């Protein structure tokens, strides 16, 4: 795909509106240097230099969509705590609306704190609840979703198994999105893996698919078999199987399989790469792009974000620059 084609697809993003519903979180980074080992235990002493707060989970997906020029409608659950205020501030600072986030004082805002020294992660601290949401909260979430669905081009479900996406809520979201004629994409995790039957795009990573299907991939033939099984069991239109440094494979039908290699770049941090892939592919599939073109665009986007330290969104301008003027390949 050349730059002209990429620019044509990217230009269409600006007219698109995507509901992103799923587990929102804060990614907090504490940066510092290590010059000695603690006398209290065999651990490094971090001399803190600063902190950074970024959007994570479904909020990072929405951030990617906004950075690519489209309009995200972010629906999720936050607590009534410092993490919630941090998340709302971060959402609004990045020109998105926090109006559709629902506060549930019974649970903390999901917050992951990473301590980084000399470009290496030393430790991660998680503050979260994975208990299923209450029926009252489920109804509030569904009401927000119903109020926005008629204006949306797509529904992107980002499941991190943090308790928001219960089987009942998933079924309601899919049915209402279908009724509205919306494209539906899913980035799953283990717990609800097979609850997403009938969606348009299902994007698991290799580890998730291996675990849920009870398969171990040893060669390309196994990957193809895995994709076919996912298509059959989930009754979906497409499966995009991400395979880390080995690229990803797009399955559009039993015999229509496309392997898409990674775009070679120096890797600093793979955090958030999956968020970028699902955001970019979903947007691409709301345009006149073919599924392969949308996936190639997503591969280029992921290649950019893994070259950044910490979770960071892809930018419209930097994505188009990764395509050469005359490149007709992937």
**pLDDT band at residue 315 under the 50/70/90 scheme:** low
275 tagged catalytic: yes
Region 127-140: mean pLDDT is 96
Q: Does residue 151 fall inside a structural domain?
A: yes
Q: Does residue 293 fall inside a structural domain?
A: yes
**pLDDT band at residue 119 under the 50/70/90 scheme:** confident
294 three-state secondary structure: helix
Q: Does residue 326 fall inside a structural domain?
A: no
Encoded tokens for 157: 């479900």
Read off the CATH number of the domain in which 224 is found: 3.40.1190.20
Q: Which of 269, 275, 327, 330 is catalytic?
A: 275
Specify the DSSP element, H or E, that contains 92.
helix 82-93
Pair 46, 40: CB distance under 8 Å = no
CA atoms of 63 and 186, how far apart (whole Å)? 17
Q: Does residue 328 fall inside a structural domain?
A: no
Q: Does residue 330 fall inside a structural domain?
A: no
Number of domains, the chain: 1
**pLDDT band at residue 321 under the 50/70/90 scheme:** low
Strand-strand pairing, 101-103 and 71-78: parallel
Region 207-222: mean pLDDT is 86
Residue 267 has pLDDT above 80, yes or no: no
Residue 173 has pLDDT above 90, yes or no: yes
Residue 99 has pLDDT above 80, yes or no: yes
Other CB atoms closer than 10 Å to residue 166's CB: what's the count? 19
Range of the domain at 175: 3-320
What's the pTM value of the predicted model, to 2 decimals? 0.90
Average confidence score pLDDT of the chain: 90
Residue 270 has pLDDT above 90, yes or no: no
Kindly give, in sequence order, each residue whose CB lies less than 8 Å from that of residue 191, ignoring residues fewer than 6 positions away: 159, 161
């Amino acid at each position: 795909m050349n730059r002209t084609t990429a620019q044509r697809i990217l230009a269409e993003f600006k007219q698109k509106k995507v509901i992103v519903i799923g587990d929102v979180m804060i990614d907090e980074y504490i940066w510092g240097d290590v010059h000695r080992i603690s006398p209290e235990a065999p651990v490094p002493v971090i001399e803190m230099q600063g902190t950074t707060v970024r959007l994570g989970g479904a909020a990072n997906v929405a951030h990617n969509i906004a950075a690519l020029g489209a309009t995200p409608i972010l629906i999720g659950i936050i607590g009534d705590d410092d993490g919630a205020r941090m998340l709302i501030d971060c959402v609004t600072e990045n020109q998105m609306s926090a109006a559709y986030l629902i506060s549930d004082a019974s649970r903390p805002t999901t917050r992951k704190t990473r301590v980084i020294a000399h470009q290496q992660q030393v430790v991660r601290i998680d503050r979260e609840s994975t208990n299923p949401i209450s029926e009252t909260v489920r109804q509030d979430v569904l009401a927000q979703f119903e109020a926005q669905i008629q204006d949306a081009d797509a529904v992107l479900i980002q499941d991190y198994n943090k308790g928001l996406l219960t089987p009942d809520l998933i079924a309601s979201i899919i049915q209402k999105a279908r009724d509205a004629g919306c494209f539906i994409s899913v980035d799953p995790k283990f717990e609800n893996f097979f609850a997403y039957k009938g969606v348009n795009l299902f994007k698991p990573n290799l580890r998730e698919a291996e675990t849920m299907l009870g398969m171990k991939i040893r060669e390309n033939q196994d990957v193809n078999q895995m994709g076919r099984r996912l298509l059959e069991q989930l009754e979906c239109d497409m499966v995009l199987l991400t395979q880390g440094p080995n690229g990803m494979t797009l399955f559009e039908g039993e015999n229509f399989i496309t392997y898409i290699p990674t775009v070679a770049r120096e890797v600093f941090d793979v955090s958030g790469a999956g968020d970028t892939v699902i955001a970019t592919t979903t947007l691409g599939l709301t345009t006149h792009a073919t599924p392969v073109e949308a996936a190639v665009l997503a591969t280029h986007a992921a290649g950019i974000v893994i070259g950044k330290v910490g979770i960071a969104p892809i930018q419209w301008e930097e994505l188009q620059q990764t395509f050469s003027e005359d490149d007709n390949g992937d």
